[in-house]
């Protein structure tokens, strides 16, 4: 080996060739490095941006809107996932077969689809058809047409339709609450949309690649409403409004034990499932957003105040002759001269004079405190959008005549819901309990406004109104009923209308242990009968009687069935 090394076979390479090769390699590496530097450092942001624009995009993920249900879980508003088929006109490319398949899925024609895409040329997005069942969306995706894709959307349905329309309200564009509880509870119902990263290939087909933010579905909401009672109240109110050619009406049914709103209905109504939601007059939730003067339905409070202050007892005589009573230069009148009445008689005959005299015997500030305590002139806290407070002027602004008129329900404005809430105090033995629209609403400790004994006395008097007074048509065969009628002249510009009325009935049953409170208001009955006792009391009769039966509340008035029960027991079970 050593010998061979000493005589080399080839001549050594000249030095310059090494240098030359290294120089070329070095230059090439240098060029690469420069280009890499240029791309990575100088143009990185612009290029990245360009690439993302073509291939990566964040796309929204829809959150499911919560359901609205009644107290028994019956659905009142449900969202259901639907598909929307859309196209990106820039990438749209379909052969005749694909287009035909797409057209038949969408129930359209190939030429119509082509036209639609062409009309949107230059835009990124055009809807081809919506809403469609999700299965159609899947089928469209399976066609794999360039630039055509499906999108999930939600649509809201209201199974109870017009029966719960005012209360539940409806959603508008983009599935957001627009009216009613849909609007009031928007935050709870809507949830949080999420987002995902979507990659587009060169053909405009998208693939979702990464989750950026998961969507949070909205919460379900349970109302205190009982759909069975809601339907019942709606049916009867609608019938009364139709039969009396009335402008409208409202009814509010409350659970006397806890202030739960079991039914809240208005007529006329509308169909929230239809695109046409009717006129504003149909959409208004009258029971909460319309005020009226409560008329004679306020008289029980004038008497209750007097009972509490010790001004009258059950047998104190009140002189209402001669049917005209002058107060502060103005006149309070009764239908006729009722002579000497006791407190129960004032209610039974609905004597304006008797109620005025009892109210005037109380101090104005006490009277105001009582009315405010009952919730007049303030929100019920129901949280319903557009709820009005009604109006009640401060006592310092009351004239003597105004104090008299307040006793029989003029000079203050209330909503049907407020009136029902005030009657709830009578049903609750003098304890004030705010009304509740939601099952899980915060419990508020009831506040005592009146002594239980005065309120019980008053309820007996109100039972007399139904047994022998103006409210006979509200009476039930098997249940004792306490209530008060009201017939109010409607306020018009410059005074009160002579021939336009509101018919009212407010009451509760059974008398000794009330379970339900119901207020019925019919606005402008126009077929002759306009008295609360003739128009509103029959609605009360129908709704209250059926509601007590549905809720399985034991009758407190013995019919002959007490005897029949005895005989059934005697006969044995086998009969």
Partner 1 sequence: MTRVQLRTILILGLLLVSTAVAIVWAQFESRRAFQAWQQVQAERDVLSHEWQLLQLELATLSAPARIERLAAERLALRRPSAEEIVVIRGQR
Q: Which residue numbers are catalytic?
A: 296
Q: Which is nearer to partner 1, 130 or 448 (CB)?
A: 130
The burial of 499, by beta-carbon neighbours within 10 Å (0-12 exposed, 13-18 middle, 19 or more buried), is given as exposed
Span interacting with partner 1, options 481-489, 509-517, 518-526, 557-565, rule CB under 8 A = 557-565
Calpha distance 256→398 (Å, rounded): 32
Comparing CA positions, the residue from 149, 142, 156 lying closest to residue 128 is 149
Span interacting with partner 1, options 100-108, 151-159, 177-185, 328-336, rule CB under 8 A = 151-159
Our finding on whether 45 is near partner 1 (CB under 8 A) is no
In angstroms, give the least distance from the CB of 162 to partner 1. Answer: 11
- Binding to partner 1 (CB under 8 A) within 518-547 occurs at 546
Q: Which is nearer to partner 1, 465 or 548 (CB)?
A: 548
Q: What is the DSSP string of 481-497?
A: -EEEEEEEEEEETTEEE
Q: Which is nearer to partner 1, 114 or 557 (CB)?
A: 557
Q: Is 336 helix (H, G, I), strand (E, B) or coil?
A: coil
Comparing CA positions, the residue from 428, 503, 514 lying closest to residue 463 is 514
In angstroms, give the least distance from the CB of 152 to partner 1. Answer: 6
Pick one of 78, 84, 126, 369: the residue that binds partner 1 (CB under 8 A): 78
Q: Is 389 helix (H, G, I), strand (E, B) or coil?
A: coil
CA separation, residue 494 to residues 136, 150, 313, 327, 490 (Å): 62, 61, 39, 21, 11
State both tokens at 186.
């928007």
Calpha distance 66→189 (Å, rounded): 5
# binding residues, partner 1 (CB under 8 A) = 40
Q: Which is nearer to partner 1, 227 or 288 (CB)?
A: 227
Span interacting with partner 1, options 133-141, 281-289, 367-375, 530-538, rule CB under 8 A = 133-141
CA separation, residue 493 to residues 459, 490, 496, 497 (Å): 36, 10, 8, 9
In angstroms, give the least distance from the CB of 79 to partner 1. Answer: 7
Our finding on whether 57 is near partner 1 (CB under 8 A) is no
CB 406 within 8 A of CB 391: no
Our finding on whether 79 is near partner 1 (CB under 8 A) is yes
State both tokens at 344.
């129960």
CB 548 within 8 A of CB 517: no
Pick one of 114, 116, 134, 456: the residue that binds partner 1 (CB under 8 A): 134
Our finding on whether 133 is near partner 1 (CB under 8 A) is yes
CB 438 within 8 A of CB 221: yes
Pick one of 80, 205, 222, 379: the residue that binds partner 1 (CB under 8 A): 80
Our finding on whether 147 is near partner 1 (CB under 8 A) is no
Pick one of 55, 56, 74, 195: the residue that binds partner 1 (CB under 8 A): 74
Q: Which is nearer to partner 1, 74 or 243 (CB)?
A: 74
Span interacting with partner 1, options 72-80, 249-257, 404-412, 507-515, rule CB under 8 A = 72-80
Q: Which is nearer to partner 1, 233 or 246 (CB)?
A: 233
Our finding on whether 279 is near partner 1 (CB under 8 A) is no
What's the count of helices (H) and strands (E) in the chain, helices before strands?
A: 21, 21
- Binding to partner 1 (CB under 8 A) within 197-236 occurs at 207-211, 227-228, 231-232, 235
- Binding to partner 1 (CB under 8 A) within 477-496 occurs at 477-478
Calpha distance 268→469 (Å, rounded): 30
Residues contacting residue 325 through CB under 8 Å, at least 6 positions apart: 331, 332, 333, 352, 353, 356, 357, 404
Q: Could you count the other beta carbons within 10 Å of the beta carbon of residue 58?
A: 13
Our finding on whether 251 is near partner 1 (CB under 8 A) is no
Q: Contact residues for partner 1 (CB under 8 A)?
A: 64, 74-75, 78-82, 133-135, 138, 152, 157, 159-160, 196, 207-211, 227-228, 231-232, 235, 477-478, 546, 549, 554-555, 559-562, 564-565, 568
């Amino acid at each position: 080996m050593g010998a061979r090394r000493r005589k080399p076979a080839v001549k050594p390479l000249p030095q310059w060739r090494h240098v030359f090769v290294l120089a070329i390699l070095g230059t090439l590496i240098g060029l690469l490095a420069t280009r890499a530097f240029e791309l990575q450092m100088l143009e990185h942001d612009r290029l990245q941006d360009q690439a993302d624009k073509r291939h990566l995009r964040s796309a929204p993920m829809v959150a499911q809107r919560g359901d609205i249900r009644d107290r028994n879980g019956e659905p009142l508003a449900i969202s259901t996932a639907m598909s929307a088929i859309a196209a990106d006109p820039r990438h749209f490319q379909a052969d005749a077969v694909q287009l035909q398949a797409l057209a038949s899925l969408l129930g359209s024609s190939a030429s119509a689809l082509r036209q639609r895409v062409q009309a949107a040329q230059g835009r990124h997005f055009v809807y081809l058809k919506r809403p469609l069942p999700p299965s159609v969306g899947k089928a469209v995706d399976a066609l794999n047409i360039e630039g055509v894709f499906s999108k999930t959307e939600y649509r809201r349905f209201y199974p109870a339709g017009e029966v719960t329309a005012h209360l539940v309200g409806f959603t508008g564009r983009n599935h957001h609450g627009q009216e009613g509880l849909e609007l009031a509870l928007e935050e709870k119902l809507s949830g949080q949309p999420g987002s995902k990263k979507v990659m587009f290939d060169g053909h405009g087909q998208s693939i979702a690649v990464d989750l950026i933010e998961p969507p949070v579905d909205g919460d379900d909401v349970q109302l205190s409403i009982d759909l069975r009672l809601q339907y019942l109240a709606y049916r009867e109110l609608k019938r009364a409004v139709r039969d009396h050619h009335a402008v409208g009406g409202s009814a509010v049914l409350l659970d006397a034990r806890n202030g739960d709103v079991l039914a809240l209905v208005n007529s006329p109504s509308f169909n929230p499932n239809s695109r046409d939601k009717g006129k504003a007059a149909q959409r208004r939730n009258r029971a909460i957003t319309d005020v009226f003067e409560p008329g004679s339905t306020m008289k029980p409070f004038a008497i209750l105040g007097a009972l509490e202050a010790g001004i009258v007892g059950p047998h104190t005589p009140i002189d209402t002759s001669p049917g005209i009573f002058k107060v502060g230069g103005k006149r309070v009148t009764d239908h006729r001269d009722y002579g000497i009445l006791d407190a129960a008689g004032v209610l039974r005959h609905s004597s304006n004079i008797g109620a005025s005299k009892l109210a005037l015997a109380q101090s104005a500030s006490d009277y105001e405190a009582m009315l405010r305590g009952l919730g007049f002139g303030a929100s019920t806290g129901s949280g319903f959008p557009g709820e009005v407070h009604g109006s009640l002027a401060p006592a310092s602004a009351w004239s003597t005549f105004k104090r008299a008129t307040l006793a029989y329900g003029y000079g203050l404005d209330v909503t049907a819901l407020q009136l029902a809430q005030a009657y709830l105090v009578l049903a609750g033995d003098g304890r004030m309990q705010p009304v509740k629209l939601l099952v899980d609403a915060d419990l508020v400790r009831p506040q005592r406004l009146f002594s239980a004994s005065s309120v019980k006395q008053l309820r007996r008097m109100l039972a007399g109104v139904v047994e022998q007074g103006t409210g006979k048509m509200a009476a039930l065969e098997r249940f004792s009923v306490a209530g008060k009628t009201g017939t109010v002249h409607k306020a018009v510009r410059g005074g009160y209308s002579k021939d336009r009325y509101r018919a009212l009935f407010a009451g509760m049953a059974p008398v000794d242990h009330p379970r339900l409170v119901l207020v019925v208001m019919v606005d402008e009955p126009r077929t002759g009968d306009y008295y609360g006792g003739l128009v509103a009391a029959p609605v009360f009769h129908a709704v209250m009687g059926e509601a007590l039966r549905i809720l399985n509340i034991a009758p407190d008035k013995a019919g002959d069935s007490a005897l029949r029960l005895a005989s059934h027991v005697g006969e044995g079970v086998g009969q």
